[in-house]
Amino acid sequence: MLTVYGAKNCHWCDKVKSLCLDNDIPYNYIDVQESDEAMTMFRDRGLRSVPQVFLSGTHIGGYAETKQYIEENYQ
């Protein structure tokens, strides 16, 4: 399952969620502004922007990398 880290009013976060929905890919969404644990993970990994997508703990990337991953593995 994908984990999408995002924030409110983030256009690219919405696009990642739409990609998942359009391709019937289950995902867990975490708002980094509402999760201290997510903010700590972002700081520890040096991540500074959203969305950030992970698959079973492995970082895929942002929107462009996630789109490419889905195109290569789900279509």
**Which of 71, 39, 65 shows the shortest CA–CA distance to 53?**
65
Structurally, how many domains does the chain consist of? 1
Supply the pLDDT for residue 62: 97
**Measured CA angle at 39 (ends 50, 60), to 5 deg:** 45
Digit-by-digit pLDDT tens for the chain (75 residues) are: 999 999 999 999 999 999 999 999 999 999 999 999 999 999 999 999 999 999 999 999 999 999 999 999 987
| Three-state DSSP class for residue 52 | strand
Domain of 8: which CATH number?
3.40.30.10
| Three-state DSSP class for residue 11 | helix
| Domain span at 68 | 2-74
The CA-based diameter of the chain, rounded to the nearest angstrom, is: 35
Structure tokens that stand for 3 in this block: 């984990």
